[in-house]
A and B are shown apart, each in its own frame.
Chain A
Amino acid sequence: MIDNDKRPLRVLVTKIGLDGHDRGSRIVAAYLRDAGMEVIYTPPWQTIAGVVKLATEEDVDVIGVSSLATDHLIVPKMMDALRESGLNHVRVVIGGIVPDEEKGALLAAGVSRVFGPGAARDEIVDFVDALGRQSRDARIDEFSETNP
């Protein structure tokens, strides 16, 4: 069996919904790439189904969703779709502008964290790194459960 811990983390950086402002997602993608992660970067306006398909095909550990307008409102639907496709181990973070009162619903839907504007580079990189490790562990658990 491959030693999962040695393979670089794979992170999908994307935007779903209607907004196209991508300066933030590009910079975060560069941060993660420079930290040694394998980044799969998409243009804005991905559909939920498209993100799930890509996450499956690219075998990602973490999905980072950038939301500057209101696209975070459909992230709970994306979480459902990930679960329905058996991607329970994939961790999701959101970066951008999310009103405080709308954060609870995202965390309740399974989002690991919401980063706001001005979040520091190291804070983002360290968090995603730890999250990716968690995802790897969860995947091993899922594998052992389905293949006893």
Chain B
Amino acid sequence: MTHTAVQLPLPGFEQARGEWRSQYSRHMRDEKPIRNRSGIEIQPLYSPRDWSGDRYLEDLGFPGQFPLTRGIYPSMHRGRTWTQRQLIGLGTPEDYNKRVRRIIGAGATAISLLPCCSGFRGIDCDEVDPVLLGTCGTVINTTDHMDRALEEVPIGEISTAMNDPSPFTLLAFTLGVARRRGIDWRSVTGTSNQSDYISHFIANHQFYRLSLPGSRRVLLDHIEFCRRHVPNWNPVSVVGQHMQQAGATPAETMGFTLSTAIQYAEDCIERGMDIDDVLRRFTFFFDISISMFEEVAKFRAGRRIWARIARDRLGAKDPACWRFKFHGQTSGVDLTQQQPLNNIARVSIQAMAGILSGLQSLHTDAYDEAIACPSEETARVAVATQNILREEARLCDVIDPLGGSYYVERLTDQMEAEIEAVIAKIDAAGGMYKAAEAGLVQTMIGDSALAFQEQVDAGDRKIVGVNCYQVEEDPTVPPADRPDADAMNRHVERFRAFKRERSQEQVAKALDALARAANTPNENTFEKVVEAVEAGVTHGEVIGCLRRELGFGHPLIVA
């Protein structure tokens, strides 16, 4: 909410301000208004007239105190630094295993797993043109594949974030591996990234598999199952990243994301789940653009709005539910093919914005992200960037270091107003599910993407090396790290043999049970997915079955 700061009892303040204003105007006669990406006009200077701290306790509080604007924990990065969570995934499970063990050997306490695009499409490796396999992620279609991918990886001790959209087969495989190794499911920790089907329907079609009502049902089953059997797993990651990457402004992104979280929470309540039990496991995932102060204001405002929504609108009583836990990824859209080393500077600034905003985990893009899957060397620079910001720039020393800046506080208030207006618009459309189904959000994002590109084309928004400060260069795209074709062919052959040799009777029985569960409202589809993959059912077969029963997912693309 925006409010005008109280008149300050500072003698001479108004006079001094007036003098500055007239001097400024003399120098800046034809100045055009400057707006940030969310459309907010940016002033040349902020003072106690814009923010005076008179609502400090209501709007900011101390870290760990409602409304959590300054941070969700009392000690923030001083107590526990953010988690460095780089996305990894390439080639066969064996390729992935080699890479992940090197990362763990270097001290990582958290890993991620990005599956092959064929997996995202919901099909197995034997159904795809082999040249496309494993080029953007790891080919994992069975529990055996996951077992090989996680060989000697201490699941149960290390947190795993998996790009695993509904119906969450990768988690099902992982639980199968845990059972094989005698590891208690209660010690399995991590996050189902990409569980946010609404964001996929709207903006990242990559992960969209099941019909909208089917996805809704399967997500709720997944949340319910995890709360019961995998209590330290985060079954929901609400994703703003896709929408901002697709062109939504930072304010729109935060508004859409919070509206999505409200939708999922309300669906859980309607299902009869205990909101205090569920909400503590909600996490968020955002893009961090190079519009640094705007991003800081976006996150601080988002934290405050979520705390109020969780407590007042959703009725969560446990303060753990008010915490806006988020992972940030530096924005690939801001990176350029031109003069690629410049991207190291861009990523540093984006990462800085995220860290100063108090994020919980961070992926920094490699500087070749705009043109390739990162090589080992560029990935190392990305990790080093985080280490430099922490160890050398010492960004962890002070909690919410930009808090109290007249500019940042004023902008936080203004972003909050913009975000709340977006949430109100979605509420008026009947909530995020209906707004997405009707195409409202897609239209808004498409308009913002085009408006931004028009500003770039017109030169009103400058991108170094693209529309200004160009140098004579022959832009190159380096060779891609393509998986070894022979190894991939062997992987596919071994998969075919596995399918021939498994117990076809058990597979048929498990698929029957899954189909039955999909048609029986009180049964849990995810429980049947877990059972099915243990019986040897593959990723593509699980999704094929649910697509038959619950409907195939077509993203809604609005021109």
Q: CB within 8 Å of B: which residues of A?
A: 17-23, 26-27, 29-30, 41, 43-45, 69-71, 73-74, 77, 97-102, 116-118, 120-121
Closest CB-CB distance, B202 to chain A, in whole Å?
Answer: 12
Point out the residues of chain A lying under 8 angstroms from B457, CB to CB: 120-121
Q: Which residue of A lies closest to B465 (CB)?
A: A118
Tell which of A18, A101, A121 touches B117, judged by Cβ atoms closer than 8 Å: A18
By the criterion CB–CB under 8 Å, are A18 and B132 in contact? yes
Point out the residues of chain B lying under 8 angstroms from A44, CB to CB: 205
By the criterion CB–CB under 8 Å, are A70 and B449 in contact? no
Q: Which residue of A lies closest to B463 (CB)?
A: A118
Query: B208 within 8 Å of A by Cβ?
Result: yes
A121 to B478, CA, bound (A): 24
By the criterion CB–CB under 8 Å, are B557 and A22 in contact? yes
Decide if the interface of chain B is mainly helix, strand, loop or mixed: loop
Decide if the interface of chain A is mainly helix, strand, loop or mixed: loop
A45 to B466, CA, bound (A): 29
The interface centre, meaning the residue of B207, B370, B477 with most chain A CB atoms within 10 A of its CB, is B477
By the criterion CB–CB under 8 Å, are A73 and B336 in contact? no
A92 to B128, CA, bound (A): 23
Q: Which residue of A lies closest to B470 (CB)?
A: A118
Interface residue range, chain B: 35 or more
By the criterion CB–CB under 8 Å, are B371 and A26 in contact? no
A59 to B36, CA, bound (A): 43
Point out the residues of chain B lying under 8 angstroms from A18, CB to CB: 117-118, 120-121, 128, 132, 136
A41 to B449, CA, bound (A): 17
Point out the residues of chain B lying under 8 angstroms from A98, CB to CB: 477
Closest CB-CB distance, A27 to chain B, in whole Å?
Answer: 5
The interface centre, meaning the residue of A17, A18, A23 with most chain B CB atoms within 10 A of its CB, is A18
Query: B489 within 8 Å of A by Cβ?
Result: no
By the criterion CB–CB under 8 Å, are A19 and B136 in contact? yes
Q: Which residue of A lies closest to B121 (CB)?
A: A18
By the criterion CB–CB under 8 Å, are A43 and B475 in contact? no
Query: B559 within 8 Å of A by Cβ?
Result: yes
Known pairs A97-B371, A99-B477; A26 contacts B204 (CB<8 A)? no
Query: B479 within 8 Å of A by Cβ?
Result: yes
Query: B555 within 8 Å of A by Cβ?
Result: yes
Closest CB-CB distance, A113 to chain B, in whole Å?
Answer: 14
Tell which of B128, B207, B245, B370 touches A117, judged by Cβ atoms closer than 8 Å: B370
Closest CB-CB distance, A59 to chain B, in whole Å?
Answer: 20
Point out the residues of chain A lying under 8 angstroms from B245, CB to CB: 23
